[in-house]
Amino acid sequence: MSFSFQIDLKKGTVSKDTNKLNPDILYDLLVIGGGPAGLNAALYAKRKGLEVGIITKRKGGLLLDTSVVDNYLGIKEMSGESIADEFLRHVEALEVPIKDDSEVVGYTKDGEEHLLTLYSGEMFKAKTILVATGSNPRHLGVPGEDLYAGKGVAYCAICDAPLFKNKEVLIAGGGNSAVEAALDLAKVATSVTLVHRSQLRADAILTDKLKDDPKISVHLETQIEEIFGETAMKGIRVLHKETGEKEELYADGLFIEIGHLPNTGIFKSLLELNDRGEILVDEKNRTSLPGVFAAGDVTTVPYKQIVIAASDGAKAALGVNEYLNSHG
């Protein structure tokens, strides 16, 4: 167990702080990221008897920006912040040190040791590291988007479709994820309107289904210029590029389905990535660098969901444990 000592000047005693990352310890595993993948990886690693610590910008990750979660097994409905608190309490109960508000800005390898340098200048070392830094949904970058995020504007149809039962919804995007979102939402919404600035890029089998669904209408070569509303989103203002005509489209919600940006940070130039910038991993979450693992939304694992990220973190920790056992 790692700990540092603090002097109590009033009592003249020494107490140990088990919640601080110690730069003098060679950890078995250092996890970069404090979302579901990173937290569950730390939990599994700790229960395997490994010396593990977490470095993260934000304890809880994108969970803190999730209003309601109702598709996590065993949890009927809970806010993302509440789930993050439960995850953190579980990990902290195992006395896993977490260094919060911290960013890794440097990585080097000294023999078999992986060295991580923080923005603060501190350096920590480990036998293995796990990159679990997540991703962020791509934004349209139009007026009103940030204002109505969580107030009609959403970024995950898989997560939030049930909230729009019997309502009218809009979808921004033209790839597979956007078309799949339209098909899924059409099962619960009264109408679905897909808006895309150019032509559809989705697979033909999906676009054929899109055309056959009477609930779905499509506006191509249509640019979203603004999202408007009052206390909640009411609609979007668009420009039909071929005619120059402007129009207001009213709806109860807008799903922005234009992909994710993986938070690869410094590892962007160190690890092999796919064409979407995600870290390539094998079935045991190993990356292109020995001793470096990755898990969750920052990787090629499909479907950016809480439960999938958490399970991927567990799988990665088991992969790390196996790697350490085989490497002495």
- Looking at the annotation, which residues are catalytic? 156, 159-160
Kindly give the pairing relationship between strand 253-256 and strand 168-172: parallel
The secondary structure of the chain in percent helix, strand, coil, rounded to multiples of 5, reads: 25, 30, 40
What is the distance between the alpha carbons of residues 101 and 305, in angstroms, rounded to a whole number? Answer: 24
Q: H-helix or E-strand containing 231?
A: none
Q: What's the CA angle centered on 20, arms 62 and 9, to 5 degrees? A: 135
Work out the burial of residue 313: count CB atoms within 10 Å of its CB; fewer than 13 is exposed, 13-18 middle, 19 or more buried: buried
Kindly give the pairing relationship between strand 135-137 and strand 260-262: antiparallel
Kindly give the pairing relationship between strand 222-229 and strand 233-240: antiparallel
Question: Strand locations in the chain, DSSP E?
Answer: 4-8, 13-17, 26-32, 52-55, 98-99, 104-110, 113-118, 123-131, 135-137, 153-154, 168-172, 191-195, 216-219, 222-229, 233-240, 245-250, 253-256, 260-262, 292-294
What is the distance between the alpha carbons of residues 58 and 39, in angstroms, rounded to a whole number? Answer: 12
Kindly give the pairing relationship between strand 292-294 and strand 123-131: parallel
What is the distance between the alpha carbons of residues 139 and 141, in angstroms, rounded to a whole number? Answer: 5
What is the distance between the alpha carbons of residues 76 and 87, in angstroms, rounded to a whole number? Answer: 16
Tokens, residue 308: 């999938």
Note whether 102 and 15 are within 8 A (CB). no
